[in-house]
Structure formats: C-alpha cells, structure tokens
Copies of this chain bind each other. A is one copy, B any other.
Amino acid sequence: MATDIIRVEGMSCEHCVKAVTQAVGVLPGVTEATVDLEAGTVAVSYDPAQSSLDNIESAIDEQGYEVIH
C-alpha cells in the first residue's frame, strides 16, 4: 500500500472536493482519498499493483484540475 500527497490547483469549493474525491475513490486499489481544500492537496492511499500515481493524477486532471509537480 502506498500513500501520496498530490498538490492540485483549482479546487475551490465543496463541489470540487466531492468531484475529486469521487473520481479518485473509484479507481481500482484506492482505499482512501482525502482532499484538503485549504492546502490544495489530495492524500491518496492505494495499492500500486492496481493503480499508479499517473492513473490517479490523470483522474484528477480529467475533472478539470491541474496537478502540480
């Protein structure tokens, strides 16, 4: 199990929190996705054998938010 903190730009309200949490939460192997709106971060716990960090970041990107590297 891996846990990563992803920095995300553009999350501004509780609707954004829900959109990102749901998009990441449905990915295979993801056991937890927690958005910190003030910090602009998403903490994700996942099984790297089932979802890669790239997959997770793509799911966030597809919701219209920018992942910061």
- Which residues on A are within 8 Å of B, measured CB to CB? 10, 12-16, 18-19, 64
CA distance A19 to B18 in the complex (A): 13
Q: How far in angstroms is the closest Cβ of chain B from A40?
A: 13
Q: How far is the CA of A64 from the CA of B12 in the complex (A)?
A: 14
Instruction: State the 10 A-B residue pairs at the shortest beta-carbon distance, nearest first.
Output: A15-B15, A12-B12, A12-B13, A13-B13, A13-B16, A15-B16, A15-B19, A13-B15, A14-B64, A10-B13
Min CB–CB distance A35 → chain B (angstroms)? 13
Contacts of A19 in B (CB 8 A): 15
Contacts of A10 in B (CB 8 A): 13
Measured between alpha carbons, how far is A25 from B19 in the docked complex, in Å? 22
